Amino acid sequence: MPSLIKKRSGDYVLYDRKRIANAIKKAFLETGEVDTPEEIADELSKIVEERIQKYEIPSVEQIQDEVEKLLMEKKYTRTAKAYIVYRETRKKVREAKKILGVEDDLKLTVNAIKVLEARYLLKDEKGKIIETPRQMFYRTARYIALVDALYFDEVFDLSGKQKRRNEVFAGKSNLGVYEMDMLKRAYRRLNFKGHMKVDFSEFIRILNDKWDIIEERIKEFYSIMVNRYFIPNSPTLMNSNTRLGQLSACFVLPVPDSIEGIFNAVKYAAMIHKSGGGTGFSFSRLRPKGDIVASTMGVASGPLSFMRVFDVATDVIKQGGKRRGANMGVLSVHHPDILEFITSKDSENKVLSNFNISVAVTDEFMDALLRDDYYPLRNPRNGEEVKRIKARQVWDLIITQAWKTGDPGVIFIDEVNRKHPVKHLGEIESTNPCGEQPLLPYESCNLGSINLSLFVENGKIKWDKLRKVIHIAIHFLDNVIDANRYPLPQIERMTLLTRKIGLGVMGWAEMLIKLGIPYDSEEAVELAEKVMKFINEESHRASMKLAEKRGVFPAWEGSEWWKKGMKIRNATTTTIAPTGTISIIAGTSSSIEPLFAIVYVRRVLEGEELLEINPLFEEIAKKRGFYSEDLMLEIAKSGSIQNLDVPEDVKRIFKTAHDIGPSWHVAMQAAFQKYVDNAVSKTVNLRYDATPEDVEKVYMLAYQLKCKGITIYRDKSKKEQVIDKADKAIEGILKRKEKELLQVKLFPEEYVKLDSTETAACRDGTCD
């Protein structure tokens, strides 16, 4: 038998007959032409092995040619045809990727390659892609793993009692210029705090001597990313080992009640957007419209006027040259301008188009609402009550506007602060643009998500495998804090003070499908608690393990962790982010959302439309013999299979966001929130015919179940929305496909592989 196989790229890999058998078995499974596909595939693979002996080093194409001939010889006509179509499909997909200028060395979907080409893969000065997806993951893994050298026993002193060391480098190093810059920054911070035992030059020598240890860490980080078990937030992938070096996605900036303070915040936001991050603001400290400005005896224009300034500034800055900026605007329900704020956005996104907005609702307000009573509006300039209004009036306006436009969402701000582990540092007033990361002023946080769909084997969750990835991911995210180049010194100080990280999940809907559990069931909600409790507890253990060697976060004393006597490295460790583009890269469903549709259209990358199909549904449909292109077309019209001729048990596990009752959406969010340190980004997707009363039930249930915030989106309430069913777009897509090089079967699995739903972050298209 041959020892090597020549790939299409020209590289050589070890020969493995099992791969031939597996390809033949897949073809048999698709056609159902034989009763024992595995046995027959194994027999045929042995014949193929004999036939390729004639080649010195057989190529992939030559092996596939032999498989094709053999299937025809053995009269497996349907399977041979399916195999030929599959080869042709793969060829067209490779050609499409080639047009994008990306060498796909991971066999990703076309959608993933489009996203990587547009945002993630490094380019030269002429805009040509200069790395592959594998190289991107390796670049990131190596950059983040280098941080481990700072904590070698010969280098790091936990007590912080060392004298300041020489930070000048004299000598040679195999490190790249950006790697060296990063290590200098991180070394300088630790040196300032008295943690460094050796001069910087000696540190680099030790790093070189112990490179085998760093190499093992690189392999560990690389492995969980390249296998898509875990993927960090976008800026970490985009900016690792680059001049920019900014690795965090989430920021909150204060907006003081002064012209200088306001425009400083505008400037700082522009700097953050330029580096690839998103910003959250509370405008609750700004004096209301019409209030007197003592210094000039003029009249204040109010928070809304300044929000428009932030919005225009965001419009002009494209994040790191990759994407437009995203903002969260928060106003306290007690602010005198709250009614104007609630009605500030329209469904056409003509006003505050770069903002998601949320009302910071207090317990005081909710108590008044439940009593059907009045509550106070207060001038933030002096805290004086200026008016009392009916809580019901404000609540109804919030509900009506959310029903009309998707905004505003609600943040239960007292619940947020009750659960905040470092409340001794101050109160949280805002979140990042997506709502999942409540932060103190000038804090940032770096996130990453575990792909839960890959932790199911033979209908069971692989808990040990999940535990291992959690520990590696927490180590990775803690390293990111040290590796980061912060856009502002204030942000650097606050972030290092609390060292918050946010490990989340994606692929939850796919995990449930693989387990055969309907999303809208008690079993699913109970499993959500079990899975997130496991992740949260293991992430805490991993952080505590890091604290033993690296120390607790600097603001530990006085924190809730300190009160419990628990030494931990990071003030928070878990967050449920929307996982927009990273779930496309991972090839799974977004975050904890149900499937948005079985087939639908996603608008990404400056309005481009991508047709999406759920691969798990396609696989089951083919295995059970009810797959057809006509069925796919029918599904494309509505996105759902509930009224189609599909087996009932399949219908149960493939319910889409609009098939699931709103209360189940909230119950799922609450189940995850119960074991999440930070917050959960999720949108309750409602059908077009949902009423304002339905919206109110959702918001009230979220309050009762102790969610930290809630957002709804009623289908078609915005003219342009991030994710849409394919009823109107499908005809145009099919026509375009005839003109494009990607002329494949109607819905090949390679064309798309994402199932998602609108998220709190993405309802306006202002986040990933």
Q: Which residues are catalytic?
A: 432, 434, 436
Identify the H or E element spanning 509. helix 508-515
Question: DSSP per residue over 35-57, as a string?
Answer: S-HHHHHHHHHHHHHHHGGGSSS
- Determine the Cα–Cα distance for residues 730 and 724; give it in Å rounded to an integer: 11
- Output the CA torsion sign for 453, 508, 531, 620: negative
Q: Read off φ and ψ for residue 357, nearest 5 degrees.
A: -125, 145
Cα distances from 250 to residues 247, 281, 500, 554, 584, in angstroms, run 10, 11, 11, 20, 20
Q: Which of 503, 506, 444 is nearest to 475 (CA)?
A: 503
Q: What is the DSSP letter of 147?
A: G
415 vs 133: CA distance, rounded Å: 41
| Residue in 690, 687, 699, 691 with CA at minimum distance from that of residue 659 | 687
CB atoms within 10 A of CB 159: 8
Four-point Cα dihedral 216, 447, 123, 482, nearest 10: -60
Give the Cα separation of 270 and 283 in Å (integer).
17
**What is the C-alpha separation between 24 and 21, in angstroms, rounded?**
5
Number of H helices, E strands in the chain: 28, 26
Strands (E) across 605-682 are located at: 608-613
User: Residue 206: which residues within 8 A CB-CB, separation 6 or more?
Assistant: 149, 152, 154, 155, 198
3-state secondary structure of 306: helix
Rounded Cα gap, residues 114 and 98, in angstroms = 11
Which two three-digit tokens encode residue 495?
């972030």
Token output for 232: 């960090």
